[in-house]
Structure formats: structure tokens, C-alpha cells
Amino acid sequence: MKVLIVEDNSKISASLKKGLEAEGYAVDVAADGQTGLELGLRTDAVYDVAILDWMLPKMEGIEVCRRWRQRKLTFPVLMLTAKDMVVDRIRGLDTGADDYLTKPFVFDELLARLRALLRRPPLTADSHYRVGDIVVDPLTHSATILGTDPGLTLKEFRLLELFLRNVGRVLTRDNILSNLWDFDFDGGSNVVDVHVKNLRKKIETIRQKAGNDHEVIETVRGLGYRFPG
């Protein structure tokens, strides 16, 4: 497995490189964001995973990640940062990072997170979910219904993606909460019902204009919701 480390702290990068090489990984290191961006874009150095610091000279890690995703690079990115606010974690993940580890960290935990990322099935540049006239592309964060952009919020987009990954299955409110909200969220509210209602309305509005009034999200009384496909 080939790893790209983008970290400006030479002690941290040297320690990571030594530890990962001892585990059998091949490791390249960049000390600034611009160099890291360019290494990630090289066609002769295909990486299986990147460890990317947030605060970097020349270009922030979050911008490096954003540009990689714009160029359809799909290797997992583990973001390292001293920023530990929820809003920062959300921003990093929404930019395209796959996981987030705050400094200081334990090397064994970093290894475990890398192993988890590498076990995930890889996305390819044409990875998308299509069910009938609905298409969701997780890489470009885009969704269309009958070729029309429904104008989804980020949470509605994630909700639609969740439904399309689980076509025909009943998703309970707890299922949806655990996938789309953090552990500290108050699951006793009706936030799931509100988001499902808004998503359903946007999809059905487009379909009705085309003369298609098929129900897109079924309410399973006492259980949750199902996307019938």
C-alpha cells in the first residue's frame, strides 16, 4: 500500500513515515500543501490513502483535498488537525476528507483508521447511484431527478444518497439519525421527519411536472421510511 503524508511538522512526518514503513507501507512525504497537491495529481504515483494536515504552508490541507476531489481523485483522505470543533470536522468531511483525527493522536489509532479506510470499497470516477429517473453522484455532490437539479440542501443530499444505497429496505429514524447526525444530536426531535418531508416534496414537485405522481419515499407506519425504487 502506498501512502502520501502531507505534513509540515518534520518530527511528526518523520515519525509517521518510520512507523508506517515498519508496517509495510510505501510512504512519500510532502512538507507543504502545494507540493502535496502536485504529488497527489501525479499519474506515476498512485496512492492508496493520504494523511493530510489541515494547517500547511502555501496551501491549506482542506483546499488540497478540495482540489483533489475536483480532479476526481478518489483515494481516501485522513485529515490531521489541531482543530477539534464540530464545525471544523464537518467542513473537512464535506470538502472530501474520509476521516478526521485530531492532534495529538496515538499512532496505533491512526493505523486502525487507515486500515478501516483501506477496507472500504473504492469509489471510481463514474461511481454514482441511479434508481429510475434519480441519479446521485457522491463525488461531485450532485443529484438530478429527470435531469433536473432539485436544489437539495447538503443534509437532503445525504439523505437521498442514504435511501439510494438502501433501496427497498426500511430505514428507521434511528438508522437515519446515526448515519446523518453526530452522536450528540438530540434524536428525540422530529428532525428526520422534517427532512424526509422536504426531500419528498422536492422530488415529487419535479415528477409531477412530468406527469409522474409515483410516491418516491414510502412511510412505513411505526417503523420509518422506505425508498421502493
Min mean pLDDT across 7-11, 68-72, 105-109 is at 68-72
Q: Which domains does the chain have, with CATH numbers?
A: 2-119 (3.40.50.2300), 129-226 (1.10.10.10)
Contacts 24+ apart (CB under 8 A), 40-47: 40/4, 40/64, 40/68, 40/73, 40/75, 41/68, 41/71, 41/73, 45/2, 45/4, 46/2, 46/75, 47/2, 47/3, 47/4, 47/75
What confidence score (pLDDT) does residue 162 get?
A: 85
Question: Band of the pLDDT at 57, cuts 50, 70, 90?
Answer: very high
Task: Check pLDDT > 60 for residue 185.
Answer: no
The pLDDT tens digits of the residues spanning 100-154 come to 888 888 999 999 999 888 876 655 545 677 888 888 887 667 889 888 999 988 7
Strand 142-145's sheet: what is its strand order? 129-131, 134-137, 142-145
What confidence score (pLDDT) does residue 64 get?
A: 94
What confidence score (pLDDT) does residue 48 get?
A: 87
Min mean pLDDT across 46-50, 85-89, 138-142, 203-207 is at 85-89
Burial class for 203, CB neighbours closer than 10 Å (0-12, 13-18, 19+): buried
The structure's pTM equals 0.56
**What is the average pLDDT value for the chain, to the nearest integer?**
84
